Chains A and B, each alone.
Chain A
């Protein structure tokens, strides 16, 4: 049980990073990114490609961040002339194009068969130290990301982001460079997502294009919406809650003696029904955004 809890906590932290990253874009900047999973994918493929070229994990994280920043720049460039909703569709399209590229460029990405055998980060350590160290790394990453997001959004920069979200024309008239704001936000968010992807690749030990389907993006969206869009703590809580619910549904099945199909149905209901319920009755999420005050995020 202990090791299972460590596993669930690791996954919750990795999703927490993704959720923080999406929240920075959507919750603060109003950037409706439907291609979030590809920023994560930049991290996973960075790790995998570095591994398949015997370059080691440091090169892996560097490669992942470079990929993610380039994709973020492309997203931002696309966004210059598009309204928020059209931009969202464009990001979805770009993410799909990149996934299909990963599926076909077998010389680089291993194609649909992916890249397997990526080593565990602390695989040499005796258990349960290895998983515990991974969890420690994930916690450090999550806290650092939280601190960074908090710093960004409680400063004047954060106010500019919120102004861009609420009144883009007003923000432009006050002299804010919206294109630069978007680009910077996307790049910061992309680095967080890539970090999550890098650890994920070394934890799952396998990277393939099936991990980058668009439904994964919407899972992260559900975490942000349920947790509370526009609040960093909310985004983290949403991710942790969803991950724990997902992981513990099978235990409910065992306890009640339900057939296995119910687990599948229950998971789908949790995501879909939960999302719908929050959108209808509690749009602000579990932990709502706080308005005003320098120290509040």
Chain B
């Protein structure tokens, strides 16, 4: 253990001279564990932003920007190890992350308590709102996407909705917020099904929903499970009733096109002024279209942090936090306009209204 300490101490010392010529930020994302695919995609977005900023000459008069990306392993204890390392050893002013709200909340609480800036890029739980000054959300919390979906469903004259979402923090948040927004608009949620992730079949759940005779099925599901749900709804013939997807690309990316023909949905907007260039850069670097809808938030987080550092003329957490509040008013990000409300949350998001009609079409 002494050797480890010694080695660590040497490392800390040896990295000091480098700090003077660069501005270092931190990120904690899941690179292993159940959410590793998403976390790796978040890392891609961060990487692209760092490349872009350094190409344009860095920050604060030519200093290079560097983001230390740490793995959370999808576990709160490891995520906290990583966050504490970033704060107490690397002394970064800003930490970006995580994906699961069960990890983002403790990490965010720790950062706020340490007086650092926290940028949430992946969790949509309503509890994020209460983290306190210094914590910003670049992703709309579940009330934003669910509220938009409820309005869109009502606009399509559907009155009775059956909802199916995964039984985790994300799904429970979406179900609760959708129910709230939809009832307020005069609709009625006739069934809510919370499915267990990783099942091989969802027929029982689908048949239970069918019995409630809804006008529309509202769902949000991850790749593989979404593919199963779509295939089985086709086989059971219940896809003759309209389906509405919250995050359409996430729900339909792994599905056979004939199973999802005619589906409605919302998705993130990548058509902002920065969006098209970003999408092209992503494709050029990784040779594939967006793997998930989450990489753009990582990109925007780094871009906004860099802009805030420039504006503040300093990399001190307090100055960055104050500058972020000013910038976060109609900021043109890759994921569309970013405007923070009084609680530093992204209160509106310009989602796209989509429909699948021989490929994804904008409505």
Contact = CB atoms under 8 A, between A and B. Distances in A.
A173 interface: no
B206 to A, nearest CB: 20
Contact of A254 (B11, B32, B71): B11
A117 B11 contact: no
A242 to B, nearest CB: 11
A210 B11 contact: no
A116 B100 contact: no
A124 to B, nearest CB: 12
Given A4-B88, A208-B102, A260 B109 contact: no
A251 B109 contact: no
Contact of A116 (B40, B80, B82, B127): B127
A247 B85 contact: yes
Contact of A267 (B4, B32, B110, B169): B32
A144 to B, nearest CB: 22
Contacts of A268: 32
Interface string A94-137: 00000000011010000111101100000000000000000000
Contacts of B8: 1, 248, 251
Residue of A2, A106, A205 with most chain B CB atoms under a 10 A cut-off: A205
Contact of A244 (B4, B12, B31, B85): B4
SS of B interface (majority): helix
SS of A interface (majority): helix
A264 interface: yes
Given A116-B127, A261-B40, A268-B32, A246 B102 contact: no
A258 B105 CA distance: 28
Interface in A180-230: 204-206, 208-211, 216
A149 interface: no
Contact of B11 (A106, A240, A251): A251
A5 interface: yes
B184 interface: no
Interface residues of A, number: 41
Interface in B166-217: 167-173, 194
Interface in B93-116: 100-103, 105-106, 109-110
B36 interface: yes
Interface string A1-44: 11111011001000000000000000000000000000000000
Contacts of B105: 114, 116, 206
Contacts of B109: 116-117, 205-206
Interface of B: 1, 4-5, 7-9, 11-12, 14-15, 31-32, 36, 40, 43, 68-71, 73-78, 80-82, 84-85, 88-89, 100-103, 105-106, 109-110, 125-127, 130, 167-173, 194
Given A11-B77, A205-B110, A247-B81, 15 more contacts: A4-B85, A11-B81, A111-B169, A112-B102, A112-B168, A112-B169, A113-B101, A113-B125, A114-B102, A116-B106, A205-B106, A248-B4, A251-B8, A255-B7, A260-B43
